[in-house]
Amino acid sequence: MTARIEAIEGALTREGWDEALGQFAGATFFHQYGWAQLVRDVYDGEPHYLAAKADGSVCGLLPMMTRNVLQAGNVCISLPMADEGGILSRSGESTQALIDAAQHIGQSRQVSYIEIRQREELPGDIAADLTRVGLELSLPGTADELWDSLKATVRNQVRKAQKSGLTASVETNCHAAVDDGFYPIYSENTRDLGSPMHSRRFFHEVLSRFPDLAQLVVVREDLAPVGAAVALRWRDSMAVPWAASLRRYFDRCPNNLLYWELLRLAVEQGCRRFDFGRSAIDSGTFRFKRQWGAAPEQLRYYRIPVSHEVSTDEKRDGRAYRAFSAIWRKTPLPVARALGPRIFARLPI
């Protein structure tokens, strides 16, 4: 007789949730209980932690957040501010139980849609947005082996950065480095790309709440920061969700030196995989990551309509967003840094 599978919100404590993640090879850094709590505390929203159980044993997990966003109103995302963070499941039955429970929450919260971001296909005829991929590189045992495996053009770009006087370092005082190095560069670069940015507080919270997993690397010319990245350790991998360099230094290849230092650090710390993060297929960032040898892994963003009163097909590359981006690029930096996080908090990202 098959055990009945039920998906229940709040069935696990924080400790029980994080312990249960150990059962699933596909769990990501963002599946941790603390991630949705961080997003809630910085940007608002309501976390939901769904656990599927059979005979009292966990057989599936789905973290979600209900948030209020521009255009769509209330939405439920698994997970916001993350490339992926969807369903972890041992069977099709537990997957379906989690989807059903998510829809129940969506209906009770009167959301426009539920968005589930993951790599695995969902059962049924739910359409997926396939425009994004994650890019990952398998790492060898030593930095020398990694260096030898890189294309000659990539090695030359790293050498060019070093010969031009740029240096890279892993920061020991990460909070000071956020204020003095990372955030000024990140916010300027994000403004230049036509997008609003995370708040400074967000990065301080990442470093404070995950002190053993988050690291910060800075590239400098003498004492002046010109590139920086926040990296996240998770199991045998390192991911880099946030990285930027100043455009006026691009001819000196600071990004190449930055990523070489991150890759070297990952190997040194025993990582077997390096996650470059998501990119739109064939975008500039996609091509940059591919040159390191990173392989694309399809990301599937499933959007399940709940309310038919609001369109669920708004996109960040739509006409309205392109018009906003054109104006935002010309916004003075002090204004962009003051207003950007407020706008960012209302985006379905």
Nearest C-alpha neighbor of 38 from the set 65, 73, 2, 9: 65
pLDDT at 44 over 80: yes
- Dist. CA 76–CA 264, nearest whole Å: 38
Nearest C-alpha neighbor of 192 from the set 244, 157, 142: 244
* pLDDT classification of 119: cutoffs 50, 70, 90: very high
Q: Which amino acid makes up residue 64?
A: M
pLDDT at 312 over 50: no
- Find the farthest-apart pair of alpha carbons in the chain and give their distance in angstroms, rounded: 69
Answer yes or no: do 119 and 250 share one domain.
no
SS3 337: helix
Mean pLDDT to the nearest integer, 107-130: 94
| Domain encompassing residue 47 | 5-130+301-314
In a domain, 341, yes or no: no
Q: In this predicted structure, which of 1-10, 60-69, 81-90, 183-192 has the lowest mean pLDDT?
A: 1-10
Per-residue CA distances from 188 to 191, 245, 249 (Å): 5, 9, 13
pLDDT at 341 over 60: yes
Residue written as token pair 């998501």: 278
Q: In this predicted structure, which of 134-148, 205-219, 300-314 has the lowest mean pLDDT?
A: 300-314
In the chain, the percentage of residues whose pLDDT exceeds 70 is 96
Number of domains observed in the structure of the chain: 2
Mean pLDDT to the nearest integer, 172-186: 96
Answer yes or no: do 120 and 177 share one domain.
no
CA triplet 36, 106, 101: central angle to 5 degrees? 85
Average pLDDT, the chain: 94
Mean pLDDT to the nearest integer, 4-31: 94
SS3 310: coil
* pLDDT classification of 315: cutoffs 50, 70, 90: low
pLDDT at 101 over 50: yes
* pLDDT tens-digit series, residues 148-169: 999 999 999 999 999 999 999 9
Mean pLDDT to the nearest integer, 16-20: 97
pLDDT at 1: 36
Read off the tokens for 279. 């990119």
Mean pLDDT to the nearest integer, 99-115: 95
Answer yes or no: do 163 and 258 share one domain.
yes
Instruction: Provide the b/e sequence for 249-279 (b: ≥16 CB within 10 Å).
Output: beebbbbbbbbbbbbbbbbeeebeebbbbbb
Element holding 285 (H helix, E strand): helix 284-290
89 in Cβ contact with 43 (< 8 Å)? no
**CATH number for the domain harbouring residue 139:** 3.40.630.30
Nearest C-alpha neighbor of 63 from the set 108, 4, 23, 18: 18
Answer yes or no: do 192 and 290 share one domain.
yes
Answer yes or no: do 288 and 149 share one domain.
yes
* pLDDT classification of 5: cutoffs 50, 70, 90: confident
The residue among 315 and 179 whose pLDDT is bigger is 179
In a domain, 333, yes or no: no
pLDDT at 316: 54
Answer yes or no: do 212 and 82 share one domain.
no
Residue written as token pair 């993951």: 118
Q: Is 85 exposed, middle or buried, given 0-12, 13-18 or 19+ CB atoms closer than 10 A? A: buried
Answer yes or no: do 195 and 253 share one domain.
yes
Q: In this predicted structure, which of 54-68, 198-212, 219-233, 301-315 has the lowest mean pLDDT?
A: 301-315
* pLDDT classification of 279: cutoffs 50, 70, 90: very high
pLDDT at 125: 86
In a domain, 241, yes or no: yes
pLDDT at 309: 54
Answer yes or no: do 193 and 55 share one domain.
no
Answer yes or no: do 245 and 152 share one domain.
yes
Answer yes or no: do 141 and 255 share one domain.
yes
- For 196, other C-beta atoms within 10 Å of its C-beta total 23
Residue written as token pair 């359409």: 127
Answer yes or no: do 277 and 204 share one domain.
yes
Mean pLDDT to the nearest integer, 15-25: 97
How many Cα atoms sit within 13 Å of 213 on the Cβ side?
20
In this structure, the strands spanning 128-129 and 300-305 are: antiparallel
pLDDT at 298: 97
pLDDT at 285 over 70: yes
SS3 308: coil
- Dist. CA 22–CA 234, nearest whole Å: 12
pLDDT at 283 over 50: yes
236 in Cβ contact with 273 (< 8 Å)? yes
DSSP at 182: I
59 Cβ contact list (under 8 Å, min separation 6): 5, 52, 53, 89, 90, 91, 94
